Amino acid sequence: MSGAGKSQAMSAFEDEGWFCIDNLPPRMLPTLVDLSRLEGARLDRIAVTCDVRGGRWFEELSRELDRLAGTDDVVPRVLFLEASNDALLTRFRETRRRHPLADGAGVLSGITRERELLEGLRNRADTVIDSTELTIWDLRRIVSETGMGSWPRTRLEVSFVSFGFKHGVPRDVDLQFDVRFLKNPYYEPELAALTGRDQPVIDYLAQVEEMTPFLERLEALLDFLLPAYADEGKHHLVVAFGCTGGRHRSVRIADLMAERFRAGNYEIVVEHRDIHRGNRVAADEGTS
């Protein structure tokens, strides 16, 4: 149904790595399948939106689906989106878009005609989703859970980033932790030129009184948050740790968190933004 959430549904497929085409004339579905069979095409998961914008070609959809269902290497699935008349009226009113079947007779008339036209496709659908009471995030989650068959979902990518506040705060951060409360290795002459990846600094921070209780609480928080973000449909999460110069404390904690969560069902990326910046500054500034 127009206004039922096709754009959000297609975004969900795109985020999961599907090859997506909007408003493809049904007659072109066999051609698309032929292209997917070409060597190196890598089109094993295709999502296509077909709707009444296709005009008279849209009426061929059921016939083309029957043709595809008769092939050995293609398994077509129909995901049908609908909503109540009141919900659709509200959405068209808010967006000020014209219903494709209104023809000057009003939005409700277009909705009624469309519902009648789509009845046969709705009856043959593998999955029907009513988006009336759904937020866009609920819709995307349900599409991922029910509309993609047995294909595995994309794992959440978590980037653990270390940085120095003196060099500026990263802009694309979801969660940010200030670890400047930890004792600073920079003020130990033999550690100042090292980084949080050097064993003397690692040993030093392990002896800092606040380090262990902080890590325990941080891990518990991320144990709770990461699955929640994944369930909500988020695909990339940036967790940043900042100290003064971004070379000691933040580096060590980012590495610890990456090691801790690499064993989970996540894609882990580590970035130490300021680890290679020079450390020859006045002692009263602090660099890490």
Triad 90, 83, 94: Cα angle to 5°: 20
Q: Which of 146, 180, 213 is the last residue of a domain?
A: 146
Q: 13 is written with which tokens?
A: 């497929």
| Beta carbons of 274 and 245 less than 8 angstroms apart | yes
286, pLDDT greater than 50: no
Mean pLDDT for 64-92 is: 88
Residue 254 and residue 183 share a domain? yes
Residues 6+ apart with CB under 8 A from 206: none
The per-residue pLDDT of the chain, averaged, comes to 87
Give the domain CATH number at 33: 3.40.50
Q: How far is CA 45 from the centre of its chain?
A: 17
Closest CA to 101 of 62, 56, 60, 142: 56
Triad 214, 217, 223: Cα angle to 5°: 135
What confidence score (pLDDT) does residue 15 get? 82
Higher pLDDT, residue 41 or 6: 6
Q: Which domain holds residue 49?
A: 6-146
- Residue that has been written with the tokens 């400047």 in this structure: 180
Measured between alpha carbons, how far is residue 140 from residues 5, 131, 256 in Å? 9, 10, 33
Per-residue confidence at 279, pLDDT binned at 50, 70, 90? low
Residue 139 and residue 15 share a domain? yes
From first CA to last CA, the distance across the chain in angstroms is: 56
Residue 15 and residue 141 share a domain? yes
How many structural domains is the chain composed of?
Answer: 2
Q: Is residue 285 part of a domain?
A: no
| Beta carbons of 238 and 170 less than 8 angstroms apart | yes
CA–CA distance, 135 with 180 (Å, rounded to integer)? 39
Mean pLDDT for 240-268 is: 93
Q: Is residue 172 part of a domain?
A: yes
What confidence score (pLDDT) does residue 248 get? 96
Positive or negative, the Cα torsion across 28, 34, 39, 40? Answer: positive
Q: Is residue 196 part of a domain?
A: yes
Residue 115 and residue 35 share a domain? yes
What confidence score (pLDDT) does residue 282 get? 34
What confidence score (pLDDT) does residue 280 get? 45
What confidence score (pLDDT) does residue 69 get? 83
Helix H or strand E segment including 159: strand 156-164
Instruction: Record the pTM.
Output: 0.57
Q: Is residue 84 part of a domain?
A: yes
Strands (E), 189-252: 236-243
What confidence score (pLDDT) does residue 53 get? 77
Measured between alpha carbons, how far is residue 107 from residues 4, 85, 103, 116, 288 in Å? 14, 10, 9, 14, 62
CA–CA distance, 52 with 156 (Å, rounded to integer)? 35
Mean pLDDT for 273-288 is: 59
- Give me the DSSP letters along 227-240: HHHHHTT--EEEEE
Express each pLDDT in 158-211 by its tens digit. 999 999 999 999 988 999 999 999 999 999 999 999 999 999 999 999 999 999
Higher pLDDT, residue 42 or 237: 237
Q: Is residue 192 part of a domain?
A: yes
Q: How far is CA 197 from the centre of its chain?
A: 31
What confidence score (pLDDT) does residue 278 get? 67
- Residue that has been written with the tokens 């988006």 in this structure: 131
| Beta carbons of 45 and 18 less than 8 angstroms apart | yes
Per-residue confidence at 285, pLDDT binned at 50, 70, 90? very low
Q: 17 is written with which tokens?
A: 């790595």
13, pLDDT greater than 50: yes
Q: Is residue 278 part of a domain?
A: no
Q: Is residue 178 part of a domain?
A: yes
- Residue that has been written with the tokens 């008279």 in this structure: 56
Q: Is residue 203 part of a domain?
A: yes
Q: 239 is written with which tokens?
A: 């967790």
